[in-house]
Structure 1
Amino acid sequence: MAVLSGDEIRKLIQKEGLIRDYVDLETQIQPNGFDCTLRSVYRLRGCGRVDFDNSRRELPELEEVEFRDWVYLPKGVYRAKLNEVVRLGNDIMAIARPRSTLIRCGANVLTAVWDAGYEGRSEVSIVVHNDYGIWLSRNARIIQLVFIRLSSPTKGYEGVYKGENIDS
């Protein structure tokens, strides 16, 4: 396994469509990853349910938080949709970490693993810990995706989130 460099990520974007719908390629490519940006934010309006085999999985209802250029988020938990559509081959996975400025402002981003074979416009959770809240601009860079090449190709992701939000 090896972490992909910014140059390798750029080549995969240009040749294989690793990422599309980005805001500014030169700004978003980092030495060891790619910054993903904020498209929309939602309040959770209900309870979720998680089980072993997903047969009784329920996601909370959402209410979109309206904003044009900026949005103020008081302390709480939110779901956010990213601008970028990620398309991973069967030999690449990704993990994400919050941007350090977001952390310094008293907020964090919760993510899951991007499995090899995943394609979609991902959603993440934003947790605002700061008692005074946080202001986020549309297209703010909120996470950095780190891509890892697997030691060998694997069966690609086939879960319910494959292809999520591509048309939205």
Structure 2
Amino acid sequence: MQRIADIQSLIDGIVHWETQQAPNGADLTVDEVFRVTGPGQLDFGGSEFAEAPRERLAPTKADPDDSYGWWRLDEGTYIVRYNETLKCTEHQPARLTPLRRLLLAGADHAIRVLNETERPLEMLLRVGAGGCDLKENCRISRVEVFTSA
């Protein structure tokens, strides 16, 4: 597998390309945060699948004149929805990894490989005992897109 050189053409919803571009991919930003409020359900065949219920959280501004607000997250499980979506296929998969600074801020998410486009693109976020504050449009993940020969 080889990395795609022109990754920008495969991403919709970029907030600010000059800031989000990275030597080996691009950073993804947070659009919405949801608190997981109960259990989901999985079965073998999928006929009894049910998504975990969730509650949308509103960011709060420290000052009314601020352009962006913050999500003040306590320990727990959340779902983040990205501003961006990726054009992925079986022959052009993408890998999402947490940024190091997300880990250092007390939160984490799994590494995911996508081989189809998901709209909206979401990720399960785990926040540790100390909590974690996320500012609107903060960068939390890095995407790398590959091509298979």
Q: Tell me the residue number matched to 2:56.
A: 64
Matches within 5 A, 1:78-117: 78-115=78-115, 117=116
Q: Tell me the residue number matched to 2:24.
A: 32
Amino acid at match of 1:146: E
SS at match of 1:127: strand
Q: Tell me the residue number matched to 2:75.
A: 75
Note if contact 2:40-2:52 (Cα within 8 Å) is conserved in structure 1: yes
Q: Tell me the residue number matched to 1:134.
A: 132
- CA deviations 1:84-108 (Å, max 9, x no partner) are 1222245210111101001011210
SS at match of 1:92: coil
**Percent pairwise identity:** 29
Counterpart Cα distance in 2 of 1:119 and 1:98: 18
Q: Which runs of 5+ in 2 are unaligned?
A: 61-68
SS at match of 2:142: strand
Question: TM-score, with normalisation over the residues of structure 2?
Answer: 0.87
Q: Tell me the residue number matched to 2:146.
A: 148
Q: Tell me the residue number matched to 2:2.
A: 2
Q: Give the number of equivalent residue pairs.
A: 141
- CA deviations 1:18-56 (Å, max 9, x no partner) are 111110011111111111100011111111112233221
Instruction: Choose between structure 1 and 2 for higher RCO, CA contacts under 8 A separated by at least 6 residues.
Output: 2
Amino acid at match of 2:125: I
Counterpart Cα distance in 2 of 1:85 and 1:94: 11
Note if contact 1:109-1:142 (Cα within 8 Å) is conserved in structure 2: no
SS at match of 1:120: coil
Amino acid at match of 1:82: Y
Query: Is 1:125 aligned to residue 117 of structure 2?
Result: no
- CA deviations 1:72-128 (Å, max 9, x no partner) are 00111101100012222452101111010010112102353211x424220101101
Q: Which runs of 5+ in 1 are unaligned?
A: 152-168
* Runs of 4+ displaced beyond 4 Å: none
Counterpart Cα distance in 2 of 1:27 and 1:51: 42
